[in-house]
């Protein structure tokens, strides 16, 4: 390793110079900082172990090489020329820069350079002390971002405080004006108390709706809130089906006339208009869905995500002249629908995301991941109840033929059609999933091997009887092979049970396809 002897040994004798140089080299090696010495052409003459650790180049690789071939390789020509000019001018510097290790990874370093002089004070090169501040830089960046976030929050708080101050000032002004008339004050106080109660009720409803996981919970919350806000006014909530061709009654409060179970969108003027429809007692423009004996009422559409999600129908007093309910009643109605709409939209979005996570996009069946989790739960339930669980593996015969001859669109059409045929021949408690490619899996809770075999045979015949016409072209009648296994006889774990069903499926393939084969029972020979 080349060693540059610093000026501090210039007056030492020859006998002492070499030991001092070695001691100095050892100090530089153990100093805990990356130390690099280079000559006036930026060629490295000293490179300690910390420099090797920082930049990835060993001393043997670095000494004798210009910085251009080491960690300064990424510098532009202009920047590298400025580096040479600084070294040759003997200017000390202190800076923070980005350099690249041997493996290409960028590191943030704090650089301090000082000129290297010989014993006569002539410039020989430059000493650089480099400190890795990559982690420190990242922490500073994170701190800077956190400071910006805090500043933004403080600004929001200040703005909220100013807004609150303005509201308080307006409230004090209103209170001062109301004190002029005691009766008016009492009426205003009663009104404010009512608004406060309504606000708390609506805020509590909004919090509960945001925490709902099921639609039935949301409908019950709306029902209870409606009864609190309008205790004397019977009301009902209707929600669009996914098909959007009809609305279903999902909640009611009060003792009014029993609402229809469903109503068509064109049976309500509010849904036609896309806004509230107020009907006084003697009003002639009544909705067909309103009960003939009902007095005045209001229909309020429930909006969310840019569309109408449902309808609130409520029997409230509507002024015959203004054709509007009382102001506070209308405000409560609008506040109710304004909070219900986004909450229902969020539930729709959550349901859609859950469906995407659990369902196969092409067939609409459950995906393999969901099936494996569900099978694991069913087996644990079967362990406790002592009842069986059956698994049916299904593979479409000669599916590659459909793809090769009629195209992948036709293959997708076949998969969707057969998925529908399977769904039509299983119980609501059964779970059908697309296992992968042209392979399906059916989980039948509490089904014996005999019951599952009969069900598989029924599905096999249903697939054979499926008529396929794609883009005006009649496709060949499909067939499928089935493998049936049952817990606990063919496996006590999901993986074992699936393997038993899969082995039976391959046996059905081997024996000629279009058939049902059962996994062998431990006490019975294989079919």
At 9, the pLDDT band (50, 70, 90 cuts) reads very low
What domains does the chain contain, in order, with CATH numbers? 7-132 (3.30.450.20), 195-355 (3.30.450.40), 368-518 (3.30.70.270)
Q: List the beta bridge partners of residue 431.
A: 443
Instruction: Reply yes or no on whether the pLDDT at 527 is more than 70.
Output: no
Q: How far apart are CA 47 and CA 70, in angstroms?
A: 12
Q: Give the rounded distance of the alpha carbon of 190 from its chain centre.
A: 45
Average pLDDT value over all residues in the chain: 85
Instruction: Please tell me the distance from the alpha carbon of residue 224 to that of residue 505, in angstroms, as a whole number.
Output: 53
Average pLDDT estimate for 391-409: 90
Residue 185, pLDDT score: 54
Tell me, what's the pLDDT at 10?
44
Helix axes 215-229 and 182-210, enclosed angle (nearest 10) = 170
Q: What are 254-284's pLDDT values in tens digits?
A: 887 778 888 899 999 999 989 999 999 877 7
d(CA 21, CA 8): 10
Residue scoring higher pLDDT (139 or 180): 139
Q: Can you read off the two tokens belonging to residue 149?
A: 């976030």
Asked whether 34 and 54 are in contact (CB, 8 A), the reply is: yes
- Name the β-bridge partners of 132: 109
Q: Which of 305-309, 368-372, 480-484, 522-526 ranks highest by mean pLDDT?
A: 480-484
Q: Are 46 and 28 a contacting pair, CB within 8 Å?
A: yes
- In terms of C-beta distances under 8 Å and separation of at least 24 residues, what long-range contacts does 359-364 make, across chains too? 360/433, 360/434, 362/412, 362/415, 362/416, 362/434, 363/415, 363/416, 363/419, 363/434, 364/416, 364/419
Question: ω before 488 within 30° of 0 (cis)?
Answer: yes
How high is the pLDDT of residue 8? 40
* Phi, psi of 34, deg, nearest 5: -75, 120
pLDDT band at 496 (very low <50, low <70, confident <90, very high): very high
Instruction: Please report the pLDDT score of residue 211 as a whole number.
Output: 80
Model confidence pLDDT, tens digit, residues 283-325: 778 898 888 887 889 999 998 888 898 899 998 888 888 888 8
Angstrom distances, CA of residue 517 to CA of 250, 314, 394, 483, 484: 46, 60, 11, 5, 6
pLDDT score for 7: 43
CA 184 to chain centroid, in Å, comes to 53
Tokens describing residue 13 = 């004798």
Q: Encode burial over 464-484: b for 16+ CB neighbours within 10 A, e otherwise.
A: eebebebeeeebeebebbbbb
Q: What value does the CA radius of gyration of the chain take, rounded to a whole number of Å?
A: 40
Does the structure show a pLDDT above 90 at 455? Answer: yes
Share of the chain above pLDDT 90, in %: 27
Instruction: Provide, for the chain, the percentages of residues in helix, strand and coil under a 3-state DSSP scheme, each rounded to the nearest 5.
Output: 50, 20, 30
Q: 141-189: per-residue pLDDT in tens?
A: 888 898 888 998 889 888 888 888 888 888 888 887 777 766 655 655 6
Which residues does 467 contact at the CB level (< 8 Å), separation at least 6? 474, 477
């Amino acid at each position: 390793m080349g060693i540059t002897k610093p000026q501090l040994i210039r007056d030492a004798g020859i006998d002492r110079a070499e030991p001092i140089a070695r001691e100095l080299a050892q100090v530089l090696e153990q100093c805990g900082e990356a130390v690099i010495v280079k000559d006036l052409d930026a060629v490295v003459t000293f490179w300690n172990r910390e420099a090797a650790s920082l930049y990835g180049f060993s001393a043997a690789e670095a000494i004798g090489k210009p910085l251009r071939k080491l960690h300064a390789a990424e510098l532009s020509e202009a920047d590298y020329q400025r580096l040479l000019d600084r070294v040759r001018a003997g200017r000390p510097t202190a800076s923070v820069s980005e350099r690249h290790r041997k493996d290409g990874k960028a590191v943030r370093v704090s650089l301090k350079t000082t000129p290297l002089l010989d014993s006569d004070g002539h410039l020989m090169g430059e000493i650089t002390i480099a400190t890795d501040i990559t982690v420190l830089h990242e922490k500073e960046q994170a701190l800077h971002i956190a400071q910006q976030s805090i500043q933004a929050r403080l600004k929001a708080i200040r703005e909220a405080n100013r807004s609150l101050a303005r509201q308080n000032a307006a409230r004090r002004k209103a209170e001062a004006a109301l004190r002029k008339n005691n009766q008016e004050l009492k009426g205003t106080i009663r009104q404010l108390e009512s608004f406060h109660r309504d606000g708390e009720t609506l805020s509590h409803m909004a919090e509960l709706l945001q925490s709902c996981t099921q639609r039935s919970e949301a409908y019950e919350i709306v029902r209870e809130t409606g009864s609190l806000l309008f205790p004397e006014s019977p009301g009902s909530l209707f929600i669009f089906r996914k098909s959007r061709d009809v609305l279903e009654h999902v909640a009611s409060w009060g003792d009014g006339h029993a609402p229809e179970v469903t109503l068509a969108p064109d049976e309500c003027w509010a849904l036609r208009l896309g806004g509230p429809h107020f009907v006084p007692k003697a009003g002639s423009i009544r909705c067909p869905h309103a009960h003939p004996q009902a007095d005045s009422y209001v229909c309020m559409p429930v909006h969310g995500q840019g569309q109408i999600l449902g309808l609130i129908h409520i029997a409230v007093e509507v002024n015959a002249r203004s054709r509007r309910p009382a102001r506070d009643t209308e405000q409560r109605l609008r506040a109710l629908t304004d909070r219900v709409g986004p909450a229902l939209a969020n539930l729709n979005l959550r349901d859609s995301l859950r469906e995407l996570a659990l369902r196969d996009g092409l067939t609409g069946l459950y995906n393999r991941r969901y099936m494996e989790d569900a099978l694991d739960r069913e087996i644990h339930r079967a362990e406790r109840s002592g009842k069986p669980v059956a698994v049916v593996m299904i593979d479409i015969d000669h599916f590659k033929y459909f793809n090769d001859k009629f195209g992948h669109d036709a293959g997708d059409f076949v998969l969707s059609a057969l998925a529908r045929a399977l769904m039509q021949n299983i119980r609501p408690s059964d779970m059908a999933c697309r296992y992968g490619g042209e392979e399906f899996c059916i989980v039948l809770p509490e089904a014996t091997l005999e019951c599952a075999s009969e069900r598989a045979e029924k599905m096999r015949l249903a697939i054979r009887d499926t008529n396929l016409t794609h883009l005006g072209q009649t496709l060949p009648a499909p067939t499928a092979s089935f493998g049936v296994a049952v817990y606990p006889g063919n496996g006590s774990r999901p993986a074992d049970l699936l393997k038993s069903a899969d082995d039976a499926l391959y046996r059905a393939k081997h024996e000629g396809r279009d058939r049902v084969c059962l996994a062998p029972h431990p006490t019975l020979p294989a079919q």
